[in-house]
Chains A and B, each alone.
Chain A
Amino acid sequence: MTRGEGNAPRIRAPQDLLAGLALLVLALLAFWASRALPAGRLGAPGPGFLPRVMAAGLGLTGLALAVLSFLRAGEALGRFTLRGPLLVLLAVAGFALTIRAPGLLVAGPLVVVVGGAASPESRPRELVIFAVIITLACAGLFRYALHLPIPVLVIPGLVNL
């Protein structure tokens, strides 16, 4: 909680303030993105009708949350750690980039090793061995037992499993 100086308003619910502001930004973004869409008349609502009504509602609730955060006590912001989200996102991106080619045999261990490092308890050697085992198990389960069209190993011109 921040301590206000003099008569400056005190933020009593930091979570609500942040949430309210984020919603306001989203509402403005939606207004901007739907600016060219005709709203139509009430008797013949156009494609811009619902987006604008919803964006207005969203903006109002966001505003209410932000204003109330100065009046009503609420929860403080929790701790953020960047290691987890960043590594997990990196792992997911790596999977997206490698799944078409060279395929699961590369994408699988990539997700497991990079994503696995997100945990403060991770142990590198154990993780690598596990990555190999779980990738092979996934290839067996999803590709061969359940017949999903997952590229397992694709080296253009050479292998296509």
Chain B
Amino acid sequence: MTDLLANLALGFGVALSLQNVGLAFVGCMVGTLIGVLPGVGPIATITMLLPITFGLPPVGALILLAGIYYGAQYGGSTTAILVNIPGEVTSVVTTLDGHQMARQGRAGAALGVAALGSFFAGCFSTLVVAGLAVPLTRLAMVFGPAEYAALMLAGLAFAVVLARGSVLKSIAMILLGLLLSTVGTDLETGVDRMTFGLPALSDGLEFAVLAMGLFGFAEVLRNLEATETRDVVQAPIGRVWPTRQELLQSAGPVARGSLVGAALGILPGNGAVLGPFASYALEKRLAKDPSRFGRGAIEGVAGPEAANNAGAQTSFIPLLTLGIPPNAVMALMVGAMTIHGIVPGPLVMSRNPALFWGLIASMWIGNLMLLVINLPLVGLWVRFLRVPYRLMFPAILLFCCIGIYSVNNSPSDVLLTGGCALLGYAAGKVGLEGAPLLLGMVLGRLFEENLRRALAIARGDPWAILQRPITAGLVLAALLVLTAAILPAVRRGREEIFTE
């Protein structure tokens, strides 16, 4: 406990420097500004703004990035409430009751509760991250290649269950992602793999290009078709600060949402996605009058928003302690860290404690910043969102182009992104989702490296690998999860959660 306090004190000492607070502020501000654009979620926002962190010292860069992440998250919720367009899967739930509240002239209260709930969840999960960091890092120290490979296998199995739609299709997309991650030079032998002789591919497919194509551009293409679902709220916004009664109604959902979100966020395989859905289902079940849900129930905003933010934060845990990015956003963080010469993993905490605890402290500061920025600026975002979509999306296209160009200062990256967008759009038409593909791509290289090493150590004897207890447990968990996904009973339950 005293250790924890000392560590947090160290972190706040780093994060509270004038420059770093300034960076957290700028990050939240710019992140919200871009994230509030309809159809632009955290993945696209971070890709777009990644280049602005290049010139900063490592701690500052990560703090700026974390600020952008939280800003983008909150921006996405704002759009979900006001325009009924979720920036990403995690804010889909918020559109249900949030947008209804907005139509009834209670947009202010919805936004206020979302901000307050997120802040509470943020405080709670910052503590969770700080508390779990040390023990989990110790656990990571006993992990060998076999354990790492098995953990990632379990993560991918979770991802199949957590993805929406057909199980077969999500398995296929994960396999495709893993396959794409092998494109480029093989790290062990230096051989070019599946590059078709193109020098541009020998470094592998750029993750940012794929992410921006699938989640930036392709989203624009989808939104161009769905004109009927967009309606910017014309009703008055109402007061932002929730009433006493609204606060009392939201307190329980926020507390439960934080717990659910934080727990799910730790799972490798993008558990954070499930948080808001689970919280919404839970609140609906607990409610005295479930029929209010979907018609502007404040609990339906408070719980999922808290779960969303808590999950966003605890998904840093697998990255910081094990070096495994659990989702696309964290993979982008890895990219940013690598640029600054930091290899995420168990060694960061001992080798670079200032950076590690500084980042954790800045999570909390970022959450506070959001509250400070967003509550007073709600009016501004509303006016911003009244710009019609026919003007909004060309601007989004331009931002995306500038962002992807700046990652490597490479025009060919922009072209590749366009290509990915077209493929992503076409894949969406036959029900193939981009999210599992990105996860396969995220984990691919690490998975292959560890699997090959584990096999080499075991001299090619799979049974020798499975005799390691942790490995066997994780592989078993992966198999159980996959079998469960195929069982009809679980499948029905899963559909229920996602369609609610």
Which A residues contact B (CB, under 8 angstroms)?
15-16, 18-19, 22-23, 26, 30, 33-34, 37, 41-51, 54-55, 57-58, 61-62, 64-65, 68, 75, 77-81, 84-85, 88-89, 91-93, 95-97, 99-100, 104, 107-108, 111-113, 115-116, 118-123, 126-127, 130-131, 134-135, 138, 142, 146-150
B393, A115: Cβ atoms closer than 8 Å? yes
CA–CA, A122 to B395, complex, Å?
13
CA–CA, A15 to B168, complex, Å?
13
B429, A77: Cβ atoms closer than 8 Å? yes
The answer to whether the Cβ of B83 comes within 8 Å of any Cβ in the partner chain is no
Q: Give the segment of B8-16, B219-227, B338-346, B488-496 that binds chain A.
A: B219-227
B431, A142: Cβ atoms closer than 8 Å? no
A142, B397: Cβ atoms closer than 8 Å? no
A111, B430: Cβ atoms closer than 8 Å? no
Q: How near does chain A come to B230, taking the closest CB pair, in angstroms? A: 11
B221, A130: Cβ atoms closer than 8 Å? no
B394, A115: Cβ atoms closer than 8 Å? yes
**Nearest CB in chain B to that of A58: its residue:** B175
User: Chain B, 392-406, contact with A by CB distance < 8 Å: what is the 0/1 string?
Assistant: 011101110110011
Q: How near does chain A come to B429, taking the closest CB pair, in angstroms? A: 6
Residues on B with C-beta less than 8 A from A149 are 406, 409
CB<8 Å pairs between A and B, sample of 11: A44-B460, A68-B168, A84-B221, A92-B217, A92-B418, A96-B411, A111-B397, A113-B394, A116-B390, A135-B398, A138-B402
Residues on A with C-beta less than 8 A from B388 are 121
State whether A54 and B178 are in contact (beta carbons under 8 Å apart), knowing that A92-B217, A92-B418 are contacts in the complex.
Answer: yes
Indicate which residue in B220, B394, B405, B460 contacts A127 across the interface (CB closer than 8 Å).
B394
A61, B221: Cβ atoms closer than 8 Å? no
B189, A130: Cβ atoms closer than 8 Å? no
The answer to whether the Cβ of B186 comes within 8 Å of any Cβ in the partner chain is yes
Residues on A with C-beta less than 8 A from B171 are 57, 61
Indicate which residue in A23, A46, A75, A127 contacts B189 across the interface (CB closer than 8 Å).
A46
Closest 8 CB pairs of A and B: A43-B460, A42-B460, A92-B418, A116-B394, A47-B186, A19-B430, A96-B414, A33-B194
Residues on B with C-beta less than 8 A from A50 are 178, 182, 448, 451-452
State whether A42 and B455 are in contact (beta carbons under 8 Å apart), knowing that A96-B414, A111-B394 are contacts in the complex.
Answer: yes
**Most chain B Cβ neighbours within 10 Å, of A92, A97, A100, A142:** A92
Q: How near does chain B come to A17, taking the closest CB pair, in angstroms? A: 9
B405, A99: Cβ atoms closer than 8 Å? yes
The answer to whether the Cβ of B169 comes within 8 Å of any Cβ in the partner chain is yes
CA–CA, A64 to B167, complex, Å?
12
Given pairs A51-B182, A119-B393, 16 additional interface contacts (CB within 8 A): A23-B176, A26-B176, A30-B194, A41-B460, A42-B461, A68-B168, A79-B225, A89-B421, A92-B217, A95-B414, A100-B411, A116-B391, A116-B393, A121-B388, A142-B406, A148-B406
Indicate which residue in A44, A55, A65, A108 contacts B168 across the interface (CB closer than 8 Å).
A65
The answer to whether the Cβ of B52 comes within 8 Å of any Cβ in the partner chain is yes
Residues on B with C-beta less than 8 A from A119 are 224, 389-390, 393
* Residues 166 to 195 of chain B near chain A (Cβ within 8 Å): 166, 168-169, 171-172, 175-176, 178-179, 182, 186, 188-189, 191, 193-194
The answer to whether the Cβ of B477 comes within 8 Å of any Cβ in the partner chain is no
State whether A115 and B411 are in contact (beta carbons under 8 Å apart), knowing that A37-B191, A42-B462, A92-B418 are contacts in the complex.
Answer: no
**Nearest CB in chain A to that of B388: its residue:** A121
Residues on A with C-beta less than 8 A from B427 are 19, 22
Residues on A with C-beta less than 8 A from B166 are 16, 65
